[in-house]
Each structure stands twice: as structure tokens, then as C-alpha cells.
Amino acid sequence: MSEDLSNFSMFDLFRVEVENQSRVLTDSLLALERNPVAAAQLEEAMRAAHSLKGAARIVGIDAGVNVSHAMEDCFVAAQQGRLTLHQTRIDLLLRGVDLLGRIAQTPEAEAAQWAGDKNMEIDAFLADLAHAPDEAAAKPAPERDESKAAAQESPAAEGRGTQDRVLRVTADNLNHLLALASESLVESRWLKPFAESLLRLKRLHYDLGRTLDGLREATSGHALGETAAAAQAEAQRRVLECHQFLSQRLVELEMFDRRSTNLAHRLYDEALAVRMRPFGDGVQGFPRMVRDVGRSLGKQVRLEIVGETTQVDRDILEKLEAPLGHLLRNATDHGVEPSDRRIAAGKPAEGIVRLEARHSAGTLQIIVSDDGQGIDLDRLRAKIVTRKLTNAETAQKLSEAELLEFLFLPGFSMKETVTEISGRGVGLDVVQTMVKQVRGTVRVTAQAGKGTRFQLQLPLTLSVVRTLLVDIGGEPYAFPLAYIVRTLRLAKGKIETLEGREHFDFEGRRTGLVSAHQVLDGAESKLAMEELPVIVIGDQGGTYALVVDRFLGERELVVQPLDPRLGKIKDIAAAGLMEDGAPVLIVDVEDVVRSVEKLISGGRLSKVRDAALAGDVKASKRVLVVDDSLTVRELERKLLAGRGYDVEIAVDGMDGWNAVRTGRFDLIITDIDMPRMDGIELVTLIKKDPGTKSLPVMIVSYKDREEDRRRGLDAGADYYLTKGSFHDETLLQAVVDLIGEADA
């Protein structure tokens, strides 16, 4: 990619040239190690060396000129068939690449040292390369394309005009840009609930118009004074004018909402794209590393990279370097066997380590695998017992997945001796620590004799997190999906008590049951339901099931870091903003696990089932009121709450359907005319769903025509009441007829 080079010195340009061409040289040399007469790779390597020679000559660094010229001569001789790039010569040429890199990284003021103090190192390299044993190529030299040969004489003209122009910006600039884009995205979400509030205002205007119409009809048989009649007509005209004006503004607001939301999303996506880099940018040094580690161990190992163009958040890519280095070294050292053992096992002499990156289901998947010997589970089990991590009896009962989790413990290693490459037991611990820092997970699988596979599941970006939103004590909390093992609804009958602690059977294991209210210091729960909403969290250190009040659905939240002056807040990682701008706390799941363990060790863990049973005794019947009119909603809520019913409200049909699916109710009271989903659709969905079809539904609507009543009852409503005719007792009596008294 062509850069804005106006502020670069000539030495800076040379440094950039070495960085780019060294990558070409390394990739070509690794390919030539497998096929020494590959024409394309020889051509690329020769041209890269030629370009570096020209760049070094321009800035007057003779050491760089001499090294790149010797390398170029070597590639030309290989093209002409006068020598073969065998392994020894490949090693020397890679040494030359490293030398050029060191020359380029030398401060410009100290570059002269390469013509003085460090010249002996250059001379040694040139001598070693010149006296390397020559081997005639087994195949005829590939013909050189004259047009390519001519192009090499003008390296400055290489491919500069075909690439996009970019500007250099700091990481802070990008972070500020993304933060502003995130705020824009959140602000754009405010318009939708505001538009819904105006829809309710429109409904009130409609109600006012109907009231005036009723007043006019009621007084039609009575003589009104001229002033009163004129005032009544003027009021009707004004209401109609307001209604029409509000309707026009709502249409405009809806259009603006769509444009604003679309623009905010595009801005955020573009800002996020600036932070993204191809996966290949962060792993370009790994093929050389794997090759060198393999050589030092006397093994033939090659790294295959898949998904180099996969876009990865810059911060995540930087954090991946050390963990991936550990995994690749482990695969080369622990996984891939020496060539003689591979051949005896019917495998190719050369081992393959594979590094793959891809996007899947809104996450970044990084997979490191090898075709080596796999992991000896019996040896691993014995090692666990030897390290006194568990006893022999328990170790024999551990599943394969449970055994493999021990590999991530600090200081754990399968190596009997410590070497420069492995044996200290720090590699996989570093991997898991990094993965947890970015809210990800890591899993390992192995097949004896076939290889080992590590899969890292990471967020696409650190600025956005996918969460499960839950209600705890009337407050919303967000749990990152990456830390949730499972969500389920647990029947109270499945809760058992052992040594004073509650648990239930989860996938064949006893899993402790904990009230989220106690952990997060929430309001006292009213768990008046037969099935408890449960989130299973934890890792190999411990798994627990948190009981919450309600599941509110998945949300993708823009992460808003907490003010550092607050310090570390117990059990909370960060904050986010809902669609309506309301704040929500993002839970620190690892901290929650530690809090649970402290409650257990201190003997302060309360029982969930006792609270649930107490809730059953005290619980009132629950009614959901669905109406887009604030006035009607509040009227019905107060009437029902005054009679002892537990009332929840929803602002339209869609909101009501979400509440029905995630909560437990004894009765639904709904209007018909509502935005997003009307009452008839809501009733139809409730009655078609096997889980809710027996739920009583009452329609309370202004529509009082016989066909409207028939339409509602045909959809499945159990009762139809008109707003224009019902009195307080009429509604309450209808509720009693359907579900009985509140505390019955």
C-alpha cells in the first residue's frame, strides 16, 4: 500500500523498503527450501534483493549494498542452474535477511558502524556464502522473462501505482474515532423510543378527538348557545389540525430515524474497519520461527497459514503474537515427531503445523493444529497425580476434556526436562490468560497418533461485546456470551441439597446453585415461578449456576469503560448503553465466580429454593398489560395493583410478545391498535404457541363494533371489553372471572 511519504527521510524510506522486501525474501526462501528450482520464487527473491541493493546504494550504506548484491548473485546463479539452494545455503540467505534487518534498524547516526566496527560480521557472511559448497541443479534453469529482467533494473517503478493511498495516523486517533462512532451509534438509538412516545401522543390526540365527537353527539339534542357551539367546533377543528400535523411530523421523524441509524452504523463500521488489519500482518514471522525451531530440534516442520486476509482488530492482533508463538512452538516441540518416527508411522517425513483464522457466528476463530503424535492421556493422567493436583482415583474418573484442561494450569508441562524451547510450563498459561483478557475462550482436543488442535474463540473487536441481558432484582445486567456455559430453565423439583448446599445435575455433574441477587447485592427476589431462569458460568476451576429473575434476550453492546477513579468495582467489568440510552452494567464473570467461592468458604451462601418457595406463598397472580397509551396502561395497572395483582406493562405488541416468551403470567390484557405488532397478532401468536396457548387473554379496545369483537374472539381471546363502556369494577370482575382473586 503506497504511503504518504512526504515526511520521511531517505533512511526512513530505506527502513520501510527493507521491512517490505524482507518479508518477500523470507517467504520465497521458505518456499525454495521445499522446491529449490521453483521459478516464481527465485524470480521474486532475486528482484527483492535487487531492490534492496538499489535502496542501500541510494542512502550510501555499503554494508547493505554488499549483502544484498551477494544474495542477488546467489539467486541469479540458481536461476541459471549453476548452483542449488540446498538447506545450508538457505540458512545463509536467511542469515543475510536478518543482517539487512539489523542494518535498517540501526539509528541513522550509527549506520557508519557497519563500515567500521561491524564490518567483520558482513565479511564473515559474504565469505560463508561465497564458499558454500556448490551443487549443480538437477533441473534445467528456468528461462527468464526479458520484460521481468528489464523491470528489475528499475526497482523504483515496481507496483507503486496500483495500490491504494493511505495516511499515517496514531493509534490514539483511531481509538478516539471509534469512541465517537460508538457514541453516535448509541445516540441514534434514542430516536426510536422517542418516536414511540410521539405515537402515544398521537393516540392521545385520537382519544381526545373521540371524546369531543362523543360530546357533540351527546349534546346534539340540546340547544347550545352560539358561543358554546362555536367553541366546540373550534376545538374539534384544532384537534384535527394537531392530529394531522403530528402525523406528518411522525413520518418525517421515522425517515430521519432510518437515515440517522443507517449513517451511524456506516460510520461505526468504517471506523471499526480502520482498526482492523489482515491476520497475515501479525503472523508473518511465524513460518520462519517454526522452520528454525524445527531445525534446532532436528525435525522437518512447515507452517501452513489459512485465512491471512481475515480482518482482525488491531489490539487483538497485537495480543495474539505471544500466545500464538507459544502454541506454535509447543506444536513443533511436543506435537510433531522426528522424521524417522513419522515415516515408521506411515506419515510424510515433513510435519505440518496449521494456523487458521476465520470469522464464525460473529466471533473470530483462531485454530492451531498439527499432524503429530497427539497427547498421551494416560501419561497426562499420571503427570496430574504425580504433581498432586488430584488423587489417582479421581484422575481415573476424569473425562478427556477435563484432563486436557490441566494443560492450562500455571507451571504445568509434559516435558521431563527444561530446554530453551519448552519444559517450564508457562506457554499455555500465557495463552489462557490472554484469551480471558479479551473475553474469549480456548479449547483443546487431541487424537492419539493424529495430532492436537487448539481453538481460540475471540470477539471480533474489543469495542463491542455480545451479551445476554438478564433482570436481577429489577435491574438489567449484561453477561458476556463468551463466558456463559449454558442457559436453562430449572424445575424446582430438580434442586437437591447436600451438606447444606443446593445443587442440581448438569451434564452428569453436580453443579452448585446460587442466587444472583445475593452475589450482586440486588433487591430481594420474588421467585414465584415453577421453573427458575439459570445461567451456568465457570471453567475448570469451578462451575456454578446463577439464578436470575428473567432472561431479557441477547444484546450487542458498545463497551463503555468505567471511570478509572472508581477503581475495580466488585463483579463488574464495564458498562454499556441500551437502545433507549439507559445504562447497563456488564458483569465480570470471573470476579463473580470468585465472589461465589468466598460466600461458600465463609458459610454465607443462602438457599435459592427457600426463597423460591417463600415467593410461591406470597406471590400474587401476575397480569401483563399491553397498551401503547400511557394513560390507559397506568389506569389499568393501578386498578389491578390496588386489588393485589402483580402487574407488568408492555408498550406495544412486540414488547408484549417478548415479555410473554421470557416471563410467567396468569393473564394478558391487550389493546388492538398498536405499533410494530397489533393486539390481534399478539393474541394469535400466544394461542399458537404450545407453551402459552392455555394462557387467558383479554382484549380491552375502543373498537366496539360486532365485527371487531368477533375478530378478537376468533383470534383466540377469552374476553372482549370495550374501553368506552367499562367501569373500574367491570374490568376487575372480568379479571376475577378469568383467573380468580389475586391471592387465591
Which CATH number do you get for residue 431? 3.30.565.10
Using a pLDDT cut of 70, give the percent of the chain over it: 83
Q: How confident is the model at residue 610 (pLDDT cuts 50, 70, 90)?
A: low
In a domain, 568, yes or no: yes
Question: Which carries the bigger pLDDT value, residue 138 or residue 337?
Answer: 337
CA angle 720, 723, 726 (to 5 degrees): 80
Which residues lie below 8 Å from residue 614, measured CB to CB, with a gap of 6+? none
pLDDT of residue 350: 92
Same domain, 377 and 452: yes
- C-alpha cell recorded at residue 331: 506444536
Give backbone dihedrals phi and psi of 166, rounded to 5 degrees, phi first: -130, 165
Beta strands at 542-547 and 531-539: parallel, antiparallel or unpaired: antiparallel
Q: Side chain identity at 498, as an amino acid letter?
A: L
Same domain, 195 and 268: yes
Q: Cα 516 from chain centroid?
A: 24
pLDDT for residue 367: 95
Count CA within 13 A, CB hemisphere, residue 556. Answer: 12
Of 277, 306, 340, which residue constitutes the final position of a domain?
Answer: 277
Q: Are residues 401 and 475 in the same domain?
A: no
Angle at 36 between CA 155 and CA 307, to 5 degrees: 70
Provide mean pLDDT across the span 506-513: 84
**273 and 291 together in one domain:** no
C-alpha cell at position 256:
430521519
Among all chains, which residue has been given the C-alpha cell 456455559? 485
Report how far Cα 109 is from the mean position of its chain's Cα atoms: 46
- Higher pLDDT: 148 or 108? It is 108
Number of helices (H), then strands (E), in the chain: 25, 25
**pLDDT given at position 641:** 85
**Closest CA relative to residue 291, chosen from 303, 274, 276:** 303
Query: Which tens digits make up the pLDDT trace of 413-446?
Result: 776 654 555 544 456 778 888 887 787 888 899 9
Q: 97: closest CA among 242, 285, 266?
A: 285
Q: How many CB atoms neighbour CB 245 within 10 A?
A: 11
Phi, psi (deg, nearest 5) at residue 395: -60, -35
The answer to whether residues 268 and 323 belong to one domain is: no
- pLDDT of 3 reads 46
In a domain, 408, yes or no: yes
Domain for residue 353, yes or no? Answer: yes
The tens digit of pLDDT for each residue in 289-301 reads 898 889 888 899 9
pLDDT at 727: 64
Give the pLDDT mean for 654-683. 87
Please report, as a single letter, which amino acid is at residue 529: M
* Proportion of the chain in helix, strand, coil states, percent, rounded to 5: 50, 20, 30
The DSSP string of 449-508 is TTEEEEEEEEES-TTEEEEEEEEETTEEEEEEGGGEEEEEEEEGGG-EEETTEEEEEETT
Task: Residue 366: name the closest of 452, 442, 284, 456 by CA.
Answer: 456
Distance of alpha carbon 64 from alpha carbon 701, whole angstroms: 86
**pLDDT value, residue 525:** 58
Q: What is the mean pLDDT of the chain?
A: 79
Q: Are strands 697-701 and 719-722 parallel, antiparallel or unpaired?
A: parallel
Which pLDDT value is given to residue 478?
93
Kindly state whether residue 162 falls inside one of the protein's structural domains.
yes
Mean pLDDT computed over 343-349 = 91
Percent of the chain's residues with pLDDT above 90: 12
Using the predicted structure, report yes or no on whether residue 185 has a pLDDT greater than 80: no
Chain-centre distance for alpha carbon 275: 15
What's the domain count of the chain? 5
Overall average pLDDT of the 376-391 stretch: 87
User: Who wins on pLDDT, 593 or 417?
Assistant: 593
* d(C-alpha 251, C-alpha 278), whole Å: 43
pLDDT at 2 exceeding the cut of 60:
no
Residue 744 domain-assigned (yes or no): no
The residues near 625 (Cβ < 8 Å, ≥ 6 apart) are 633, 636, 637, 640, 647, 648, 649, 650, 669, 670
Measured between alpha carbons, how far is 94 from 74 in angstroms, rounded to an integer? 12
Residues 319 and 268 in one domain: no
Whether residue 723 sits in one domain with residue 632: yes
In a domain, 212, yes or no: yes
Model confidence pLDDT, tens digit, residues 219-233: 776 666 777 777 777
Q: Would 116 be classed as within a structural domain?
A: yes
Average pLDDT for 374-394: 87
Task: Please count the residues of the chain.
Answer: 744
Please compute the mean of the pLDDT values over residues 52-61 and round it to a whole number. 81
Tell me, yes or no, whether 230 and 188 share the same domain: yes
309: left (phi over 0), alpha (psi -120 to 50) or beta: alpha
Tell whether 330 and 475 lie within a shared domain: no
In tens, the pLDDT along 115-164 reads 766 778 888 888 888 887 765 443 444 444 433 333 333 333 344 344 45
Query: How far apart (Å, rounded) are the C-alpha atoms in residues 428 and 430?
Result: 5
Q: Render pLDDT for 688-727 as a digit per residue (tens, 0 to 9).
A: 888 888 899 999 887 778 888 888 888 888 888 887 655 6
| Distance (Å) of CA 697 to CA 475, 653, 662, 717 | 28, 13, 17, 5
- Beta-bridge mates of residue 57: none
Note whether residue 282 is domain-resident: no
Domain range for 450 is: 287-459
Instruction: Specify the higher pLDDT residue, 59 or 303.
Output: 303
pTM above 0.85, yes or no: no
**Whether residue 140 sits in one domain with residue 51:** yes
Residue 167 has a pLDDT of 56
What was the pLDDT predicted at 102? 86
- For position 616, what pLDDT does the model report? 46
At which of 597, 616, 635 does a domain end? 616
- Per-residue pLDDT at 539: 61
Residue 175 has pLDDT above 80, yes or no: no
Given this model, what pLDDT does residue 203 score?
Answer: 73
The last residue of a domain, from among 404, 425, 459: 459
**DSSP-assigned letter for residue 84:** -
Return the H-helix or E-strand segment holding 20.
Answer: helix 10-34
Quick one: 297 and 358 in the same domain? yes
Q: By three-state DSSP, how is residue 356 classified? A: strand
In this predicted structure, what is the pLDDT of residue 8? Answer: 65
Q: What's the pLDDT score for residue 527?
A: 52
**pLDDT: is 341 or 165 the higher one?**
341
pLDDT at 706: 82
The lowest-confidence range among 1-15, 160-174, 233-247, 483-497 is 160-174
Maximum average pLDDT range among 202-206, 519-523, 705-709? 705-709
CATH number for the domain harbouring residue 637: 3.40.50.2300
Instruction: Assess whether 125 and 196 both reside in one domain.
Output: no
166/558: higher pLDDT: 558
Q: Which of the given ranges, 237-251, 314-328, 569-583, has the highest pLDDT on average?
A: 314-328
